[in-house]
Amino acid sequence: MSGSAEAIARPPYLAFLPRFLFETDRVKARYIGKAWLVALLPSIALSLLVGQAAPGAAQPDISVATPLLLFLLVLGGPFAETLIMGGLLVGLNRLFGPGPAAIVSAALWGIAHSLLVPIWGLIIWWPFLILSIAFLTWRPRGLWVGIAMATAIHGLQNSVAAVGLLMAG
């Protein structure tokens, strides 16, 4: 078994998610890689579905024309959003427990991203569900461990978008 004991209990309504998301792993990079794939692949599928359902919908206008913008997309943004998400999750977890906290966090991030581009929230909620679970799973090891793990997964997620933007531009 690659993981240790469950860091947080996997609620029955999240049983469709892989068990490893709720367990810390001795090899942090292994957890990051697996969690990133669980965040990325459904995000791509959701993006394709949303694109088919609403082909004329506005898309996010993100440019990575400079190294600073690339840095902000891949590292700065994920770190800043994880700090905000972490504070929110600590409070939600205390009030409702980890399952509801992760779901509410994902929904709020979907809504927040929908304020910029309405259809974006239909895609963004999924990776934020995974990021929220990762934070809550690793938070018992330390606040900064939870932040680092979620930031790393988020940065990888955004790096795929950055590569796509660089290739398109």
**Mean pLDDT (whole number) for 55-74:** 77
pLDDT digits (tens, 9 = 90+) for 80-138: 999 999 999 999 999 999 999 999 999 999 999 888 888 888 899 999 999 999 999 99
DSSP 76: I
**Mean pLDDT (whole number) for 49-78:** 81
Residue 85: how many other CB atoms lie within 10 Å? 25
Q: Is residue 120 part of a domain?
A: yes
Q: Tally the domains of the chain.
A: 1
Q: Is residue 39 part of a domain?
A: no
| DSSP assignment string, 84-100 | HHHHHHHHHHHHH-HHH
Q: How far apart are CA 15 and CA 118, in angstroms?
A: 29
**Mean pLDDT (whole number) for 42-64:** 83
Residue 55 has pLDDT above 70, yes or no: yes
Q: Is residue 78 part of a domain?
A: yes
Full domain range(s) for residue 92: 71-169
Q: Cβ distance 70 to 162 under 8 Å? A: yes
pLDDT exceeding 70 applies to what percent of the chain?
91
Q: Is residue 84 part of a domain?
A: yes
pTM equals 0.91
Name which of 117, 69, 109 is nearest 86 in CA terms: 109
Q: Cβ distance 22 to 8 under 8 Å? A: yes
Q: Is residue 33 part of a domain?
A: no
Q: Is residue 49 part of a domain?
A: no
**Mean pLDDT (whole number) for 158-165:** 83
Residue 4 has pLDDT above 60, yes or no: no
Alpha helices in the chain (DSSP H): 28-53, 67-71, 77-96, 98-114, 121-138, 143-168
Q: Is residue 58 part of a domain?
A: no
Report pLDDT for 2: 47
Q: Which two tokens stand for residue 117?
A: 């581009």
Q: Is residue 50 part of a domain?
A: no
